[in-house]
Amino acid sequence: MTETNVRVLVVEDDEDLRVAVAAELGASGLAVAAAPDLATADAALRADQYACVVFDRMLPDGDAMTYVHRRRQEGWHVPVLFLTARDTVGDRIDGFNHGGDDYLVKPFAVAEMAARVHILCRRAGARPAILRIADLEVDCARRAVRRAGVLLTLSNREFAVLEYLATRAGEAVTRTDLIEHCWDESTDPTANVVDVTVKRLRRKLGTPELIHTVRGHGYRLAGSGR
């Protein structure tokens, strides 16, 4: 992935600051999208893939820290930088304990913010060896899958689909995305192969269900909260 293809989402309700942050990140070579509140950010994050998210902590529709904590429990692992006026040691610890990867206190230098975001984007490129969603573990190195500690037997195709869904946990993944990443070029993209494979995966993964259908779009791998 080239630097200009690295996508970052900025979530900030102050329009002037949102524009300034987005401009600095764009000037540093990143592709930037912006949202003014949690609802807009959530829709963007479930529809597209980002290397990093910059969250103003206090937004009109809630505390971003609470949102991030809930998404972490679903298996979402995109790096997060919190921007906030709360500057006590306890506030910073809370931010890290609730899923933040970095914490920058306002007022801040936008150049420093951009440098921190680039570090988080590089970290995102280093995928963890084991992906965890609720009680599911996908060991990418050993190509092993466990649910509640029990080793599951998956075909190569089933593992490929589950691994790709796990790398985008919490996001809606289209059938076309799955075809492109998990099948070779000879596969007919109109065939029902994805739905058949997902049906087998659901049966093997058991309950409670982790692979959820996104009507008119595809599938999402997520634990509680969906």
- Residues 26 and 32 sit within 8 Å (Cβ to Cβ): yes
Kindly report the average pLDDT of the chain as a whole number. 87
Q: What's the pLDDT tens digit per position in 60-70?
A: 999 999 999 98
Q: What is the mean pLDDT of residues 72-83?
A: 86
Indicate the pLDDT class of residue 1, thresholds 50, 70 and 90. Answer: very low
Q: Count other Cβ atoms within 10 Å, centred on residue 17.
A: 17
Tell me whether residue 101 is exposed, middle or buried, using C-beta atoms within 10 angstroms of its C-beta: 0 to 12, 13 to 18, 19 or more. buried
The answer to whether domain 3-125 has CATH 3.40.50.2300 is yes
- Residues 100 and 82 sit within 8 Å (Cβ to Cβ): yes
| Whether pLDDT at 90 is above 90 | no
The Cα 2–Cα 216 span in angstroms is 31
Give pLDDT, residue 171: 85
End-to-end CA, the chain? 28
Give 82-130 as a DSSP string: EEES--SHHHHHHHHHTT-SEEEESS--HHHHHHHHHHHHHHHHS--SE
The answer to whether domain 130-221 has CATH 1.10.10.10 is yes
User: pTM value?
Assistant: 0.61
Give pLDDT, residue 211: 95
Give pLDDT, residue 85: 86
| DSSP reduced 3-state for 213 | strand
Give pLDDT, residue 216: 83
Q: What's the pLDDT tens digit per position in 102-159?
A: 999 988 898 899 999 998 888 766 566 678 888 999 987 678 999 999 999 999 889 9
Give kind and range of the element (H or E) at residue 137: strand 136-139
Q: What's the pLDDT tens digit per position in 16-59?
A: 999 999 999 988 888 899 999 999 999 999 888 888 999 999 99
Provide the percentage of residues in the chain whose pLDDT is more than 90. Answer: 46
Boundaries of every domain in the chain: 3-125, 130-221
Of 115, 85, 120, 86, the closest CA to residue 100 belongs to 120
Of 71, 98, 77, the closest CA to residue 226 belongs to 71
Of 189, 191, 186, 178, the closest CA to residue 218 belongs to 178
Q: What 3 state SS string does 140-170 have?
A: CCCCEEEECCEEECCCHHHHHHHHHHHHCCC
